[in-house]
Amino acid sequence: MDAKGWEIYVTSPVDINEAIENATASPDPDKQLEATVARYLQQEGCTVIRFNALFYSINPRTGGQNPIGEIDVEVNEAILEVTNKTGRKAGQVQKLITYPTLNPTGKPVILYAPNITLGAGEAVTIIGGIVVRDQSQLLK
């Protein structure tokens, strides 16, 4: 339940490997990058426990869905936000760091963004996120 007493739901693919394969074939370059990162982590021995997991609450009065957030990739050690974009990710990272429904155990949040600008990367670092521009740095 969230602070309003609404039920929280998570839609997460039952078969993570199938979901990763589907994302690989997606026309969306961000989904493709998410799949690439997930596969890399698996090949390096990490267990992907969530992939493209959507979190939402249900308003008990109206039955309406209220989006809370999304986790692109989660492993035992961290939550990863993945993007091809050059900026404007600090808000998303901050939500992943601070919102207990998305990150109940306080895992570190890594922004994997090969194209992020220096200023946008600094904004993420200031709020406590970890910025990674090169896939090989994900395991450090």
How many domains is the chain built from?
Answer: 1
pLDDT mean for each 10 residues of the chain (140 residues): 61 81 96 97 95 87 86 97 96 96 96 98 98 91
Kindly report the pTM of this predicted structure.
Answer: 0.89
The answer to the question of residue 127 being in a domain is yes
The answer to the question of residue 119 being in a domain is yes
Query: Which residue range forms the structural domain that includes residue 46?
Result: 7-139
Domain containing 38 — which CATH number? 3.40.1350.10
**DSSP output for 37-96:** HHHHHHHTTPPEEEEEEEEEEE-TTT--EEEEEEEEEEESS-EEEE---SS--HHHHHHH
